[in-house]
């Protein structure tokens, strides 16, 4: 089994954000992503198949670190961890959700999009967060502006990120990784073209080395 590092942000430069309609696709999709160098896989709770998909990946792909995304309630925290999720991601947070995630025993990334939300989480001892929706909320310029006054906060930006702008995010000192969907295009999944997914994942895994143009 892939050893879990101290931080979710250190697993890989890119975390695939996966929407699975058919749980039968979960294992071959996860194997393709892992083979391409992306072991962290965020399965979003946007479909009825999500929990089964997490369960299948956790049981059959030991080199994957499967997590749950779009976690919105304390009940979902319990269900996801029970299904085998090894990390949790939310688009935002409330006190109740944050308490449940903190008590879950697995790493978690609560979502933020404002300075006040970041400061509130830092006050609670949370230093790693999801920045969402990244592009709409200010993109690399916004995150760069946070690095000075709030250097202890680290982020996984998600939302509007692709292979063209991911290197700019990854060049920022307060960004550990980015989340995205471009390496799992819907037509490739529908065709079960796992070789294409693996190729796109391999390119994504090398994006940090591409450098960034952010100033």
Q: Is 42 a catalytic residue?
A: yes
For residue 62, count CB atoms less than 10 angstroms from its CB and return exposed for 0-12, middle for 13-18, buried for 19 or more.
exposed
Residue of 56, 128, 130, 144 marked active site: 130
Is 117 among the catalytic positions? no
Which one of 42, 56, 128, 198 is the catalytic residue? Answer: 42
How many other C-beta atoms are found inside a 10 Å radius of the C-beta of residue 111?
23
- Phi, psi (degrees; rounded to nearest 5) at 116: -60, -40
CB count within 10 Å of CB 135 equals: 17
**Cα 74 to Cα 122: distance, rounded to the nearest angstrom:** 21
Strand partners, 18: 43
DSSP count for the chain of H helices, then E strands: 9, 9
Of the candidates 114, 123, 184, the residue with the CA atom closest to the CA atom of residue 155: 114
Q: How far is CA 111 from the centre of its chain?
A: 11
- CB 156, CB 177: distance < 8 Å: yes
Q: At which residue do the structure tokens 């929407």 appear?
A: 19
- Cite the active site residues: 42, 130
């Amino acid at each position: 089994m892939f050893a879990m590092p101290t931080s979710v942000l250190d697993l890989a430069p890119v975390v695939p954000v996966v929407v699975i309609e058919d749980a039968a696709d979960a294992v071959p999709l996860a194997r393709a992503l892992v083979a391409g160098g992306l072991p962290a896989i965020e399965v979003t709770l946007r479909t009825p198949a999500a929990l089964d998909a997490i369960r299948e990946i956790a049981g059959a792909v030991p080199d994957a670190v499967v997590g749950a995304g779009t976690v919105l309630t304390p009940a979902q925290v319990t269900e996801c961890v029970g299904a085998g999720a090894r990390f949790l991601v939310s688009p935002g947070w409330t006190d109740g959700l944050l308490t449940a995630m903190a008590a879950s025993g697995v790493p978690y990334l609560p979502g933020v999009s404002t300075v006040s939300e970041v400061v509130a989480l830092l006050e609670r001892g949370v230093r790693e967060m999801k920045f969402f929706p990244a592009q709409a909320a200010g993109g690399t310029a916004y995150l760069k502006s946070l690095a000075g006054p709030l250097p202890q906060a680290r982020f996984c930006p998600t939302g509007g990120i692709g292979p063209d702008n991911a290197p700019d995010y990854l060049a920022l000192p307060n960004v550990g990784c980015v989340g995205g969907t471009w390496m799992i295009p819907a037509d490739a999944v529908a065709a079960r073209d796992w070789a294409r997914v693996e190729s796109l994942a391999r390119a994504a895994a090398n994006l940090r080395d591409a450098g960034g143009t952010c100033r």
